Amino acid sequence: MSTALVILAAGKGTRMNSDLPKVLHPIAQAPMLAHAMRTGAALEPERLVVVAGHGADLVAKAAQQINDRAEVVLQEDQLGTAHAVDMAREALAGFDGDVVVLYGDTPFLQPDTLERMIAARKTHDLVILGFEAPDPARYGRLVMDGDTLEKIVEFKDASDAERAITFCNSGLMACDAKTLFDLIAQVGNQNASEEYYLTDVVELARARDLSVTAVSCDEDQTMGVNSRADLVNADAVFQARARAELLEDGVTLMAPDTVYLAIDTVIGRDAVIEPNVVFGPDVTVESGATIRAFSHLEGCHVSRGAVVGPYARLRPGAELAEHTRVGNFVEIKNAVISEGAKVNHLSYIGDATVGTNTNIGAGTITCNYDGVMKHQTTIGARVFIGSNTMLVAPVSIGNDAMTATGSVITRDVEPEALALARTPQENKLGRARKLFDLLKAKKARRNKEAE
């Protein structure tokens, strides 16, 4: 049966004390919403509806960047969770399949949990997700009779016996679309908050003799994020899990607690990650590569056997082939470093291609920006670029060529040629002492005037 996801993302998140909608606050350098959408994608849903409210334009833009198939509907007035789901009614008109309701601020739900909910739908009309809580506090309780969910009782309305129940409500559910929207149409708002609660559909379903059950998951999968403190804790949970998975997969993390990972970081086994490395979005590091301490990577690909850092920065579009070397205080942006090439010290290589087994000397800069447009630098194979060379793009250096140290290269260099582009040096005998005496006298006069 086909599946539709409805992700509730309308909340303002007052406790965040932020102009940014709550679901757009990042965990592992991706909006919370991205985590929920990523988990839901495991079901290969036919439809994806995001219910936006506060900051709807921003939420819509983010949702469609994450998945361009996302349909965004507006909940202008936040009148409760049932009201929020009802905003998806028109978008899903005519849809004949299961609807799974997720929350945009619940980032740790696992795909296998959703799969178990869908499996339970084969024998039940309505499936609720619950969790066992050692300290259930003020969570709503799930009152079970065997595998039948009799009702959801809010803490304030629960008896002592019901408060002793540790099986709690997460708020997530799965139901066929027609039944879900029929039940929601019957939900009232006769409560202190005058809101329409999604949890009320359980009682309504039982009144219609529909089969209702609950699937259980670990409590940390249902962790909601409502404040900056929650956000910090959630990020810590993600990092701990991601590091543990890398270690299990055969990656060496020399100081795991100091390595920061993004939602989509991919690292192959036998790669070595030294302390204090930060991975931004869209980074792949192949097996056997080494990322040395204090390096920062984003939007890049590092191939097998490459060594990066320490103190290196790889920016979006950096592509390092096998057995390349990018050393300390080197920045690479939108550039291909071909197999065996070395950029070892204090250099910037941007909008460039560097050929195989080429050596880039310390202090080299590809001058790629003229103040308006970017330009390309092409460096061939087995080239030696002398230290402190400025390559003023657009420019090409042929195979087996060389540039002299301190050159400013403004024209193409033919293969096997040596390019020298320096102003001739002149030594003015005795001029240094005279200049120092002149400057010292000037400084003394200035100091005297200041008195």
Task: Cite the active site residues.
Answer: 345
Distances (CA, A) of 54 to 10, 25, 35, 236, 448: 6, 13, 19, 27, 64
Q: Which of 4, 22, 2 is nearest to 13 (CA)?
A: 22
CB 425 within 8 A of CB 405: no
Cα 16–18–19 angle (5° rounding)?
145
3-class SS at 226?
coil
Distances (CA, A) of 319 to 88, 341, 352: 42, 12, 10
Rounded to 5 degrees, φ, ψ at 123 are: -120, 0
Is the four-CA dihedral 240, 244, 245, 246 of positive or negative sign?
positive
Token pair for 184? 């929601």
Gap between the Cα atoms of 105 and 7, Å rounded: 9
Token pair for 344? 């070892």
Other C-beta atoms lying within 10 Å of the C-beta of residue 261: 25
Other C-beta atoms lying within 10 Å of the C-beta of residue 160: 6
Query: What is the H or E stretch that residue 231 is in?
Result: helix 228-248
Other C-beta atoms lying within 10 Å of the C-beta of residue 415: 13
CB 72 within 8 A of CB 29: no
Residue type, 30: A
Residue type, 359: N
Q: Which DSSP string corresponds to 124-186? A: -SEEEEEEE-SS-TTPPEEEEETTEEEEEE-GGG--HHHHT--EEEEEEEEEEHHHHHHHHHT
Token pair for 307? 């060594």
Gap between the Cα atoms of 444 and 346, Å rounded: 38
CB 321 within 8 A of CB 339: yes
Bridge-based pairing of strands 141-145 and 148-153 is: antiparallel
Other C-beta atoms lying within 10 Å of the C-beta of residue 219: 19
Is the four-CA dihedral 63, 102, 19, 263 of positive or negative sign?
negative
